[in-house]
Amino acid sequence: MRRRWIKQTGVVGLMSLTACYSGLGDSLGENAGGDAGLDDGDDDGDDGDDGNEGGEDPAQLCSDSDIGATSLRRLTASQYKHTIGDLLGLDGDYAAGFAADERAGAFKSNGSASVGELQVEQYLDAAESVALDATADLDTLLSCDGALGDPCAEDFLADFAQRAFRRPLTPVEFAGVVAVYRTGKDASEGSVQDGLRVAISAVLQSPYFLYHVEFGVPGEADSRVALDGYELASRLSYFLWDSMPDGALFEAVATGSLEDVEGISAEVERMLASPKAKETVASFHEQWLGVDELETSEKNAELFPEYDVALAASMRADVAAFANWVISEQDGRLETLLTANVTLSEDPQLLALYGVELPPGHVSGTPIELPAGERAGLLTMAGVMAKHAHPDATSPILRGVMLRQDILCTQLPPPPPEVDNVPPSPDPNATTREQFAQHTADPACAGCHQLIDPLGFAMESYDAIGAFRTTENGKPIDNSGEVIGADISGTFNGGVELSALLTDSASVQQCVSRQWFRYALGRIESPDDACAIEGIHEAFEAADFDVRVLLRAIVLSSAFRFRKGAV
């Protein structure tokens, strides 16, 4: 690898900021995510090297490197919902009552904690309901030439169980499923329908359905074990579709075409072209930018009477639709994600907030231009601004922290424990910026807040529900900002100029690589992932930061195709 490789790139510039840096050092030293940053400071003219020239296998480039450990994860609620949909054609949200998913960083992954009785009972309840609905009309579930009897039911179960487990069953496992079918049937006077219902319920409560079980190919070295074809197919489909593999992917496993780079790449292209990929693009951006829980954010009804759950849902959908438009219909580039001045929303309420109307003759799915100079892509979208704000006021600090931590991947220490970190109450005679400027004048706070606040101040043009504004309490908005302690520096005005600056930041580009890596693997990167992440990022950079190339590079990496050690 030609790239120079240093630790903590994102924070080198902070070394002079003593108060904040000492905290950062501590924090990063122990943090798994800290060591995997990439230096992109060199300019050695290797643009065009996508890490995969001549069909070279990116995983081979890291063949003597470790990879980070992926722990056993359960399906997330949305993976459960989508998988039930693909398995049985049921579109109910059977996971709606599940305990909330655990996250790794910003992303839901269910990899850190064990389940308790409550969650296992929730699985039982959901499985019974799915099984009941699936068997309500047997004609839509299975087709039996001739009589509905055991052979036909067992044929169905054979197919169903291996799709549910995402792999072929052993004879002993299948005999277990059939035994449940027989018991269920016998308990209700020979009803095939009841037998199938009980068997489906059992399969859906098996750990092979509920967990991403990965053993790898037996016999390989302990440090690095290749996933088998079915395990890789599941990683692919849950990454790119947020759901189980389809028939074509299972077929690719069976024919061995997932065993080489060309075969995997072909599947990635096919899968990204599918409408199901929209689920992943939506989930990633919603979780990354925090808008996945926007509907639970409450706003002051007197100040923002137009804000309600429907508008919040539109804001969230706005982020998802915009990201999907860029990635599947435009050039897919990071720059477009951070600069395009359009919305895909058709909600009149949200369009009104943006200061536009649905144009006459509007074709659904086409972008609507937003007022010039007001917005620039993801970071200035109404939902993102509304999420990172208080119920009654903006929060330059919440927004600045979001930009630092989620967009620049800078780990910030928490405020000292004794500090009074209550936001000032809204003051009718001052702008939010004036109040916060006073609030952070304290030298004890300035070490970190000079990194945070000037970024947040640039977003003061967006109020607490994300509407553009030029005045606050009768005073003009000052949206001037400054970025220091990063690989970009300088002053600027407003979110549009800031987004343009961030687009060119190597830290931001690397952060996007890392965030997608976390989403794909369901875990925070570790120092052991350095080689894989380096290769992934080179491919992303060589493609002028086309996210589609990034996703393919992640799939082809050693971290994605192998697991660390034995189970």
Q: Is 221 in the site for other proteins (CB under 8 A)?
A: no
Residues near 522 by Cβ (< 8 Å), separated by ≥ 6?
Answer: 70, 73, 104, 107, 109, 110, 111, 212
Q: Is 112 in the site for other proteins (CB under 8 A)?
A: yes
Question: Which residues lie across from 343 on neighbouring strands?
Answer: 368
**Cβ(202)–Cβ(180) below 8 Å:** yes
Please list every residue from 367 through 406 that binds other proteins, using CB under 8 A: 391-392
Provide the 10 A C-beta neighbour count for residue 440.
Answer: 18
Query: Tokens representing 198?
Result: 């009980």
Nearest-approach distance from CB 114 to other proteins, in angstroms: 3
User: Which residue lies nearer to other proteins by CB, 381 or 464?
Assistant: 464
Give the DSSP per-residue string, 464-502. Answer: TTS-B-SEETTEE---EEEE-SSSS-EEEEHHHHHHHHH
Nearest-approach distance from CB 266 to other proteins, in angstroms: 32
Query: Tokens representing 337?
Result: 């994600």
Nearest-approach distance from CB 158 to other proteins, in angstroms: 15
- Among 1, 72, 217, 273, the residue binding other proteins under the rule CB under 8 A is 72
**Cβ(418)–Cβ(411) below 8 Å:** no
Region of 40-48, 227-235, 271-279, 407-415 interacting with other proteins (CB under 8 A): 407-415
* Degrees, nearest 5: CA angle 24-26-32: 90
- Among 1, 96, 248, 441, the residue binding other proteins under the rule CB under 8 A is 96
For residue 255, the one-letter residue type is T
User: Which residue lies nearer to other proteins by CB, 274 or 349?
Assistant: 349
Q: Is 176 in the site for other proteins (CB under 8 A)?
A: yes
**Cβ(456)–Cβ(494) below 8 Å:** no
Query: Tokens representing 482?
Result: 């400054």
The helix or strand, by DSSP H or E, that contains position 485, with its residue range, turns out to be none
Nearest-approach distance from CB 165 to other proteins, in angstroms: 9
- Among 114, 364, 429, 470, the residue binding other proteins under the rule CB under 8 A is 114
Residues near 215 by Cβ (< 8 Å), separated by ≥ 6?
Answer: 225, 228, 231, 567
Nearest-approach distance from CB 432 to other proteins, in angstroms: 15
Distance CA(7)–CA(11), nearest Å, equals 9
Q: Is 418 in the site for other proteins (CB under 8 A)?
A: yes
Nearest-approach distance from CB 304 to other proteins, in angstroms: 9
Distance CA(160)–CA(345), nearest Å, equals 38
In the stretch 291-310, what mask flags binding to other proteins with x, by CB under 8 A? ----xxxxxxxx----xxx-
Please list every residue from 237 through 266 that binds other proteins, using CB under 8 A: none
Distance CA(142)–CA(144), nearest Å, equals 6
Q: Is 97 in the site for other proteins (CB under 8 A)?
A: yes
Nearest alpha-carbon partner for 196 in 247, 246, 139, 123: 139
Q: Is 126 in the site for other proteins (CB under 8 A)?
A: yes
Provide the 10 A C-beta neighbour count for residue 175.
Answer: 10
Q: Is 92 in the site for other proteins (CB under 8 A)?
A: yes
Q: Which residues of 11-32 are buried (b: 16+ CB within 10 A; e: fewer)?
A: bbbbeebebbbebbbeebeeeb
Nearest-approach distance from CB 39 to other proteins, in angstroms: 23
Q: Is 121 in the site for other proteins (CB under 8 A)?
A: yes
Q: Is 222 in the site for other proteins (CB under 8 A)?
A: no
- Among 120, 217, 254, 358, the residue binding other proteins under the rule CB under 8 A is 120
User: Which residue lies nearer to other proteins by CB, 198 or 547?
Assistant: 198
**Cβ(393)–Cβ(426) below 8 Å:** yes
Region of 56-64, 90-98, 257-265, 317-325 interacting with other proteins (CB under 8 A): 90-98
Please list every residue from 419 through 458 that binds other proteins, using CB under 8 A: 420-423, 425-426
Please list every residue from 131 through 150 that binds other proteins, using CB under 8 A: 132-133
Please list every residue from 343 through 372 that binds other proteins, using CB under 8 A: none
Please list every residue from 25 through 44 that binds other proteins, using CB under 8 A: 26-27, 29-33
Please list every residue from 496 through 525 that binds other proteins, using CB under 8 A: 524
User: Which residue lies nearer to other proteins by CB, 173 or 259?
Assistant: 173
